Homo-oligomer: A and B are copies of this chain.
Amino acid sequence: MPDMDIHIAELAKALAHPARLRILRLLLATPGCIGGDIVGAVGLAQSTVSEHLRILKAAGVITGEISGPRTCYALNPDAFAPLATFIGALTPPEGANCCLPDDKETP
């Protein structure tokens, strides 16, 4: 049943670009609703950023809600579950750190 694999591969593909990772980090760091601020932050053309947003939205990892003249993007954390499960399955033995969200790394 390669169904799941295809879906997981699509999720991974959505993450397979630095610009999209940066966009996701921005959405994570921004509580509310940012629009074209993303364009300035990633340093790419507006059309390019719009395309990346479209890809992320198509993969289901973000949502875009039109709010007046702007569009409000937000993370959809649930969408990552299949990929996270897959990666978790590959890491049974030495994944010593379990669940601790230690933020103290990268001092």
Residues of A within 8 A of B (CB): 2, 5-6, 8-10, 12-13, 15-18, 20-22, 24-25, 28, 75, 77-78, 80-81, 83-95, 98-99, 101, 103
- Contacts A84-B91, A94-B78 given; indicate if A6 touches B28 (C-beta within 8 A): no
CB distance B91 to A87 under 8 Å? no
Give Cα A99–Cα B91 distance, bound, in whole angstroms.
11
Can you list 13 residue pairs at the A/B interface with Cβ under 8 Å? A5-B18, A5-B22, A5-B25, A9-B15, A9-B20, A9-B21, A12-B16, A24-B90, A77-B92, A77-B93, A78-B94, A80-B87, A98-B98
Give Cα A28–Cα B95 distance, bound, in whole angstroms.
14
User: Which B residues touch A95, using CB under 8 A?
Assistant: 77
User: Which B residues touch A6, using CB under 8 A?
Assistant: 18
Instruction: With both chains docked as a complex, state the minimum distance between the C-beta of A83 and any C-beta of chain B, in angstroms.
Output: 6
